[in-house]
């Protein structure tokens, strides 16, 4: 009888999981495996928020597998050693997995594949994370795309819909002698209870992902292109962490969204369906870029930026930004939302990134590292693209003169201050007109609101106008030098 190991990584779901589906077609034993491979020498190990998510997602996956007659074997790495061990124990003749796209993961997985194949163990990998593989979408010259819009057009031409496979109702039982590390022993939960704000807003795991998708389709998709800009509304999908851990795949999303568009055209106009799928395409584009330009997690794609005059390392400014104490309420609200919930609304991410890279002129890598550790949706491809786009040094980057003004953005996208008051409660009693710029409020208004600037809430750490001009000058310098 054949024995197939299904190595779960960022594909923590049973529905439309190509590797699992392939294993179940062998009609032999199937051993679902997860490896804590933090012993592998990989850069970009899961940050604290990601580990929190992973803990809960693994518990969910494990329970779901058990409910279907199987279970999840959890081992500690290095991955190759753990796999080899399990192959020996179970006499497995095949290992399957869904592919990862971080450069270091690709290298590791290829080495493992080579090694096992030499030893006569079949290895097969699948696409469970993307609509199309990064090497499949190329321009007419056979080169990767560097601009989003033509990429998006090419993606639509290639097709957004694929047949999905259902989750198996039952799975073959696990041999009962297999050892497994309990999830709790992996030590991924925080020792201090900083996750109090995470628990009410997230449900890691496949069921949570499906639930969130349905909620999004029913409540937000119809008005997506407008609603997604207002952080106090549930206008975005909030599927990013589910997507990162593969509790839901983009193909499932495309089928669901296009299906809804066809069946309920009045509730889901084409403009809204494609407006959302376009964002899924951004995720796809990010993976495309990281695959073809693997150094972009660390280095600017635009080499001119190697000479950009960033501000000399400034601990206090960076810390003010990280802790939401910049004195710009819109930015501080975002940074605190991030710290408390592991997530930040996209509209606000752009503003905090703009302040860090343009006004404070701190290297975008500082921001990328902070996001990496604090976001539950931390994803190397998306994070790298986002930060390089914001800093202006990436593919299809924001024009250098696009410098967000946190006051204007706040007034435009949170005019009544609902979002702001949630995350910066010390400004609660300030009238709306001063909320996004408390330093302009007359002293008597501040006093009545119980605010003492510099004490109960910081004064701005940087002057917007001056720092904007300095940033533009720095860009001019860059242009001159090249």
Contact between 146 and DNA (CB under 7 A)? yes
- The answer to the question of residue 147 lying near DNA (CB under 7 A) is yes
* CA–CA distance, 36 with 372 (Å, rounded to integer): 18
Q: What gap in Å lies between CA 239 and CA 219, rounded to an integer?
A: 14
The first and second tokens of residue 243, run together, are: 């997507």
The reply to whether 326 sits near DNA by the rule CB under 7 A is: no
Report yes or no: 264 and 356 within 8 Å, Cβ to Cβ: no
Annotated catalytic residue 310: yes
Which of 14, 112, 398, 430 forms a contact with DNA (CB under 7 A)? 398
d(CA 112, CA 412) in angstroms, rounded, equals 51
- Segment lying near DNA (by CB under 7 A), choices 362-370, 397-405, 414-422, 434-442: 397-405
Q: Of 42 and 344, which CB lies nearer to DNA in the complex structure?
A: 344
Specify the residue, 229 or 373, whose C-beta has the smaller distance to DNA. Answer: 229
Please indicate whether residue 387 is annotated as part of the active site: yes
- The catalytic residue among 279, 321, 359, 382 is 279
Among 401, 418, 459, 463, binds DNA (CB under 7 A): 401
Query: Does 10 contact DNA by CB under 7 A?
Result: no
Residue 409 — φ and ψ, nearest 5°? -60, -45
Active site residue 279: yes
Binding mask 115-144 for DNA (x = CB under 7 A): ------------------------xx--xx
Rounded to the nearest 10 degrees, the angle between the axes of helix 380-391 and helix 270-292 is: 90
Site string for DNA, 344-373 (x = CB under 7 A): --xx--x-----------------------
Report how many residues bind DNA under the rule CB under 7 A.
39
**CB-count burial class (<10 Å; 0-12, 13-18, 19+) for 421:** buried
Residue 325 CA to residue 317 CA, distance in Å, equals 9
**Footprint on residues 215-234 left by DNA (CB under 7 A):** 229
Among 122, 154, 222, 470, binds DNA (CB under 7 A): 154
Rule CB under 7 A: is residue 433 a binding residue for DNA?
no
Q: Is 153 in the site for DNA (CB under 7 A)?
A: yes
Residue 279 Cβ, how far from DNA at the closest point, in Å? 6
- Near DNA by CB under 7 A, which window of 175-183, 256-264, 317-325, 402-410? 402-410
Is residue 291 near DNA by the rule CB under 7 A?
A: no
Unique residue bearing structure tokens 């957004």:
160
Tell me if 403 sits within 8 A of 475, measured CB to CB: no
Host H or E run for residue 74:
strand 73-76
Cα distance between residue 323 and residue 335, in whole Å? 7
Of these, 321, 370, 387, 389, which contacts DNA (CB under 7 A)? Answer: 389
Between 39 and 476, whose beta carbon lies closer to DNA? Answer: 476
Count CA atoms within 13 Å of residue 470 on its CB side.
16
- DSSP for 10-21, please give it: S---STT-HHHH
Q: Does 282 participate in catalysis according to the annotation?
A: yes
Separation CA 250–CA 98 (nearest Å): 14
Structure tokens at 394: 């990436």
Which listed range, 361-369, 396-404, 442-450, 453-461, lies at the site for DNA (CB under 7 A)?
396-404
Q: Which H helix or E strand runs over 96?
A: strand 94-98
From 198, 275, 286, select the one nearest 244 (Cα to Cα): 286
Give the residue numbers annotated as catalytic, written as ranges: 279, 282, 310, 346, 364, 387
Interaction site with DNA (CB under 7 A): 139-140, 143-151, 153-154, 229, 279, 282, 346-347, 350, 385-386, 389, 396, 398-405, 408-409, 412, 464-465, 468, 472, 476
């Amino acid at each position: 009888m054949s024995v197939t190991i299904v190595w779960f990584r960022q594909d923590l779901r049973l529905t439309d999981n190509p590797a699992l589906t392939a294993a179940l077609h062998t009609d032999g034993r199937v051993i679902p495996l997860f490896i804590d491979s933090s012993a592998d020498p990989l850069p970009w190990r899961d940050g604290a928020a990601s580990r929190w998510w992973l803990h809960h997602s693994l518990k969910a996956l494990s329970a779901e597998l058990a409910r279907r007659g199987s279970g999840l074997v959890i081992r500690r790495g290095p991955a190759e050693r753990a796999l080899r061990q399990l192959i020996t124990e179970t006499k497995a003749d095949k290992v399957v997995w869904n592919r990862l796209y971080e450069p270091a993961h690709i290298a590791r997985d290829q080495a493992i594949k080579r090694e096992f194949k030499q030893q006569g163990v079949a290895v097969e990998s699948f696409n469970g994370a993307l609509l199309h593989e990064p090497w499949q979408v190329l321009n007419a010259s056979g080169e990767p795309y560097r601009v989003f819009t033509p990429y998006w057009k090419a993606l639509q031409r290639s097709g957004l819909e694929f047949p999905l496979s259902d989750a198996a109702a039952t799975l073959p039982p696990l041999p009962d002698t297999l050892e497994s590390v309990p999830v709790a022993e992996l030590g991924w939960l925080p020792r201090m209870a900083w996750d109090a704000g995470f628990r009410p807003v997230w449900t890691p795991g496949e069921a949570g992902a499906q639930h969130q998708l349905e909620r999004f389709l029913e409540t937000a998709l119809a008005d997506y292109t407008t609603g997604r800009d207002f952080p106090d509304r549930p206008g975005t999908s909030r599927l990013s962490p589910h997507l990162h851990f593969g509790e839901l795949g983009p193909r499932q999303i495309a089928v669901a969204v296009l299906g809804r568009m066809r069946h309920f055209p009045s509730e889901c106009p084409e403009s809204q369906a494609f407006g959302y799928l376009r964002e899924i395409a951004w995720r796809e584009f990010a993976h495309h870029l990281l695959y073809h330009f693997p150094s972009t997690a660390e280095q600017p794609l635009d080499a001119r930026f190697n000479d950009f005059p960033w501000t000399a390392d400034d601990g206090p400014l960076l810390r003010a930004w990280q802790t939401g104490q910049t004195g710009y309420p819109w930015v501080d609200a975002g940074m605190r939302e991030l710290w408390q919930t592991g997530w930040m609304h996209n509209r606000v991410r752009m503003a905090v990134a703009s302040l860090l890279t343009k006004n404070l002129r701190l290297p975008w890598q500082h921001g990328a590292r902070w996001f990496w550790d604090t976001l539950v949706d931390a994803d190397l491809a998306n994070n790298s693209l986002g930060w390089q786009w914001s800093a202006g040094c990436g593919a299809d980057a924001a024009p250098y003169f696009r410098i967000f003004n946190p006051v204007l953005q706040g007034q435009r996208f949170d005019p009544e201050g609902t979002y702001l008051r949630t995350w910066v409660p010390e400004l609660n009693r300030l009238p709306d007109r001063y909320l996004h710029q408390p330093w302009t409020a007359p002293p008597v208004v501040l006093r009545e609101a119980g605010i003492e600037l510099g004490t109960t809430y910081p004064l701005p750490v940087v002057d917007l106008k001056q720092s904007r001009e300095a940033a533009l000058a720095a860009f001019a310098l860059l242009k001159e030098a090249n």
